[in-house]
Amino acid sequence: MASTATLVLAHEPDGPACLVEDRLLERGFTVHTHVICPDADQPNRAEPFPALDGYDLLVVMGSVRSLTRKGEISSWIRDELDLLKMAHTDGTPILGICFGGQLLADALGGEVETAPNGEFGWHRIELEPGVDIPVSPGPWMQWHHDRFTPPAGAEILARSSEGVQLFRLGTTVGTQFHPEVDIEHVAEWLEGAPADYVAEVGVDGEALLAETAEREDDNRRQCYALVDWYLEDVVAESGH
């Protein structure tokens, strides 16, 4: 495909594209990561967003922040939502992951709300009836308190018992799950999270790391397959 330059929007230092970036690099892409909030403890102190000129693909990552509490990130969240809406309107392919998927839903007219039950750890998803895409049911890593309703006109591709997990609108795709994680990534999440919070959401950190290590090879394969599907069946078929 013609597209080669990717901009990753990472909201905090511990939110890189990891396995997604690995696959893009293997596919010949160049990848530049812009960290929006270099200090996660100062969520309203953000780096200015870069111009999208010269980028052929945009990947928007997760965050510890919530769109149900926009006041905590008021200095930059509207700028990002406007940026994503403009990129979508201009036809720039966008892949949004977890908070990134929620941002896409919000920016394009959908909704984000607190989920009745969050999902934490490895959980399966189900493709919608009639959907035939090479995306694995998982298990995929989940770590979210919120859920999204996709924008009008979007195709819902997969769900879990807690809500929509994958949607597509043109060359914009949003996931609720985290395909990108490796064990170092999950270890960094756990290290940065208060122990009482981890216990509150029902996660045994040692058990989660052990399961992540056990699933790492399978998750790499399913993440790569997801990226390949996005590049080949969503982006390339659109003429990009």
What is the set of active-site residues?
98, 178, 180
R_g of the chain, CA atoms, integer Å: 17
d(CA 232, CA 101): 20
Residue 22's Cβ-count burial label (10 Å; 0-12, 13-18, 19+) is middle
Instruction: Using DSSP bridges, classify how beta strands 140-149 and 163-169 pair: parallel, antiparallel or unpaired.
Output: unpaired
Contacts with 141 (C-beta within 8 Å, 6 or more apart), sequence order: 121, 122, 177, 178, 179, 181, 186, 212, 219
Torsion sign, CA atoms 75, 76, 81, 83? positive
